[in-house]
Amino acid sequence: MSIRGTEIKIEGLTHRYNAKSPLTFNKIDLVSPPGEVLAIIGRSGCGKSTLLHILAGVLKPTEGKALLNGESVESPSPRWVMMFQAPHLFPWMTVRENVGVGLTFARWSKNEIKKRVDEAIELVELKPHVDSNVQDLSGGQQQRVALARSLVMEPELLLLDEPFSALDAFTRASLQKDVRAIAKRLGFNIVFVTHDIDEAIIMADRAVIMAGSPGNIVHKLDVDLPDPRERQDPSVQELRSRLMTTFEQAAYSKEEAPAAASGQ
Ligand SMILES: Nc1ncnc2c1ncn2[C@@H]1O[C@H](COP(=O)(O)OP(=O)(O)OP(=O)(O)O)[C@@H](O)[C@H]1O
C-alpha cells in the first residue's frame, strides 16, 4: 500500500449554518504538514465537528478555504475519508466484503481487490476474522473493519470524529495506539476530534485547542513524545497535565474576553 500524506492549509475559514444562525467559527488559520497526526480539542459546541466536516468536503465554508496540497476541498473524496463513532458497516457482509466495498464500486478487478483488502486486513490485525460476518464481531473489531475500509482507498488524510468514544477503555486504548502506529508507518495525515485529553496525548503529534463563540484556535501544543506511548510513563503524565491546564486556561480566558471588551 503506498499512501502519502498531504499539507493541510486552512485559510481564513469562517462558517455559519444559515443566514439567521450565529457564526460557528471565524477566520481560522492552520497549517498541518504531511504526515502529521493532529488532535482538535475543545468544549462542546465550539465548532470542532463542523471544521472536520468542511475538511471532509461535506460542508462548505461561508468564507475562506481548506486546501490539501494546494487543492481546495469542494466535495467528498476517497483521498480524504471520515470515520465516525459508529462504524456504519453493511451487516449482511463479511469483513472482506465490507473492506473491499469501495474498490468494488470503483470497479477494480477481483485480484486487485483481494490483494489490497488482504493488506488492509493484516494492518488492522483482523486476519483470523476475514470471512466472518461483521455482526459476529465486537465493537472494537467492527471499528477496525471501518478503519481497513478507509485504508484500502489509500487516503492522504483520515478524519476521525470521536471514533473510539463508544468503546470500552481497553479496546479504546489499543485502537488509539494501533491507529497512530499505522499512520506513522504509512505516512498519511490524521485530524481527529476528541474530548479525551489522554487520547490527544497518546495519538497526536500536536494538539490544537478550540474555544469561544464563534470558535477559534486559541492554543497549539506539540506532543513531542517518543513511540510507543504508555499512559503510565511520567513524560506522558506530565504532558497530559500541561495540556489539561492549557485547555482550562484557554477556555476560561476566551469566555472572559467578550465581557472585558464590552467593559462589563
Ligand atoms: N446542522 C446544524 N444547523 C445549525 N446549527 C448547527 C448544526 N450543527 C451544529 N450546529 C451548531 O454549530 C455549533 C458547532 O457545532 P459542532 O457540532 O461543530 O460543535 P462541536 O465542538 O463539535 O461540539 P461537540 O463537542 O458537542 O460535538 C453548535 O452551536 C451547534 O449547535
Task: Write down all domains in the chain, each with its CATH number in brackets.
Answer: 1-79+156-245 (3.40.50.300), 89-154 (no CATH)
The model's confidence at residue 167, banded by pLDDT at 50, 70 and 90, is confident
Q: Nearest residue CA, atom 17 of ligand 1?
A: 49
Residue 9, class by beta-carbon neighbours within 10 Å (0-12 exposed, 13-18 middle, 19+ buried)? middle
Q: Is 46 in the pocket of ligand 1 (CB under 6 A)?
A: yes
Q: Is 17 in the pocket of ligand 1 (CB under 6 A)?
A: yes
Q: Is 219 in the pocket of ligand 1 (CB under 6 A)?
A: no
Task: Report how far ligand 1's centroid is from the alpha carbon of 264 (Å).
Answer: 28
Q: What is the pLDDT of residue 2?
A: 66
Q: Is 47 in the pocket of ligand 1 (CB under 6 A)?
A: yes
Identify the residue whose cell numbers are 497535565.
241
Q: Is 42 in the pocket of ligand 1 (CB under 6 A)?
A: yes
pTM: 0.92
Residue 260 reports pLDDT greater than 60: no
Count of residues for the chain?
264
Kindly report, residue by residue over 147-160, the tens digit of the pLDDT. Answer: 999 999 889 999 99
Residue 188 reports pLDDT greater than 70: yes
Kindly report, residue by residue over 126-137, the tens digit of the pLDDT. Answer: 999 999 999 999
Residue 206's SS3 state is: strand
In the chain, pLDDT over 70 holds for what percent of residues? 94
Q: Nearest residue CA, atom 1 of ligand 1?
A: 17
Mean pLDDT of 161-172: 88
Measured from the Cα of 210, ligand 1's closest atom is 21
Q: Is 48 in the pocket of ligand 1 (CB under 6 A)?
A: yes
Kindly report, residue by residue over 79-100, the tens digit of the pLDDT. Answer: 999 988 888 999 999 999 999 9
Hey, CA dihedral for 19, 22, 24, 25, is it positive or negative? positive
Task: Report how far ligand 1's centroid is from the alpha carbon of 49 (Å).
Answer: 7
The model's confidence at residue 254, banded by pLDDT at 50, 70 and 90, is low
- ipTM, two decimals, is 0.97
